[in-house]
Amino acid sequence: MTTSQDIIRPDILAMTSYPVPDSTGLIKLDAMENPYSLPADLAKALGEHLAGVALNRYPAPRPAALIAKIKRTMNVPDTCDVLLGNGSDELISMMSVACAKPGAKVVAPVPGFVMYEMSARFAHLEFVGVPLKPDFTLDADALIAAIGEHAPALVYLAYPNNPTGTLYDDADIERVIAASKKSLVVIDEAYQPFAEKTWMPRAAEFDNVVVMRTVSKLGLAGIRLGYMAGRPAWITQFDKVRPPYNINVLTQATAEFLLDHLDVLDAQAAELRAQRTKLAREVAALPGMTVFPSAGNFLLVRVPDAAVAFETLLTSRVLIKNVGKMHPLLANCVRLTVGSAEENAHMIAALKKLPTLD
């Protein structure tokens, strides 16, 4: 009898799947989602727009109108091309597959977005993680040394970083780009609506840089759309490993419609930035809490005991992310998504129930 153990790669058998906990009945503050829905009139207009989508037809593989709208609304340089992915995850996977020469490597700061390493491993790329400094700023010298030693195919720089919220210094990024003479530097701007700083206008300035984004954090996590901008020489090659119909017709139609209403989404992002400031101040005022600076829609907080904090909040129906075991630098850290004012107030009330705060 043939079993999965006979067929599946040993390294895959040893892995665990990406964990997504059940959030039914909980205040969901673990996945950096925008808590706000669309205004009723806009949601109604979107529904009417989607009613006209031809569900019986395959989607356009490279939807020209949507790509042109992304370039225009997201200030992509004219000399750059754009590649769409089913979320940023698929773009990372495409790059991993396209760059998977024998012996090829990927370098990224750690702790960082777990999919950089997971996609590398799936494609048989060696992943080299370079620890951040204890304050979660970039150790540029160590990263540059690793690039020099390993000559990686890909270097990932999340701007800002997840799960730390750190916005790396531009001068350090420029040094990394200059040192990456045999590497492509991927600047991941998933949280750009909350950082308000971007490398997108400079995407065409370097011959070894692409800028990657997603609409997930802008309030459209459910449609799974990521995009990457860079010189056509890069985009053309990565496009060759793109599944032929990877962006479904409803995602394409939703994105094209809502990019004409960015003012609504931008206003929601502005409200979340204000809520982030308020939440950081209130959490920092609690005994035993260390709040790290964040340019994302979340806060990394060191607590006396991350496991106790997670369970205590769960009893108050608040779901957060315990990242304490992801990396030694994250010991006893939790990640709090910035929610609505009401959600944040509920989370603060739950944090006040921690045993150390009695």
Torsion of CA 181, 154, 221, 313, to 10 degrees: -110
The average pLDDT across 299-324 equals: 96
Q: Could you report the per-residue pLDDT of 95-132, keeping only the tens digit for each?
A: 999 999 999 999 999 999 999 999 999 999 999 999 99
d(CA 169, CA 80): 24
pLDDT at 218: 83
Q: Are 193 and 338 in contact (CB under 8 A)?
A: no
* Per-residue pLDDT at 343 exceeds 60: yes
User: pLDDT at position 16, please?
Assistant: 86
Strands 321-322 and 333-337: antiparallel
Tell me the longest C-alpha to C-alpha distance in the chain: 61
pLDDT at 358: 47
Question: How open is the CA angle 294-187-279, to the nearest 5 degrees?
Answer: 15
CB 189 within 8 A of CB 198: yes
pLDDT at 41 over 80: yes
Q: Are 329 and 109 in contact (CB under 8 A)?
A: no
* Correct CATH for 56-261 of 3.40.640.10, 3.30.1180.20, 3.30.390.10, 3.90.1660.10: 3.40.640.10
Q: Are 171 and 46 in contact (CB under 8 A)?
A: no
Confidence of residue 17 (pLDDT cuts 50, 70, 90): confident
Every domain range in the chain assigned CATH 3.40.640.10:
56-261
Please give the Cα distance from 313 to 301 (Å, whole number). Answer: 14
- Residue-averaged pLDDT of the chain: 95
Q: 276-291 pLDDT, tens per residue?
A: 999 999 999 999 999 9
What's residue 49's pLDDT? 97
Inter-axis angle of helices 232-239 and 87-98, to 10 degrees? 90
CA distances from 331 to 128, 164, 285 (A): 21, 12, 21
| Residues whose CB falls within 8 Å of the CB of residue 85, separated by 6 or more in sequence, listed in order | 91, 94, 225, 226, 227, 228, 242, 246, 247
- C-alpha angle 339-345-351 in degrees, rounded to nearest 5: 100
Residue 91 confidence (pLDDT) above 80: yes
From first CA to last CA, the distance across the chain in angstroms is 59
**C-alpha closest to that of 242 among 116, 82, 107:** 82
Cα separation, 155 vs 132, in Å, equals 15
Dist. CA 204–CA 106, nearest whole Å? 22
pTM, whole model, 2 decimals?
0.95
**Start-end of CATH 3.90.1150.10 domains in the chain:** 4-39+263-353
Contact 305/332 with Cβ under 8 angstroms? Answer: yes
* Res 356: pLDDT: 61
Q: What's the rounded Cα separation, in Å, for the pair 194 and 190?
A: 9
Tell whether domain 4-39+263-353 is in CATH 2.40.30.110. no
Rounded CA-CA distance 107/241 in Å is: 21
Cα–Cα distance for residue pair 276/131, rounded to 1 Å: 26
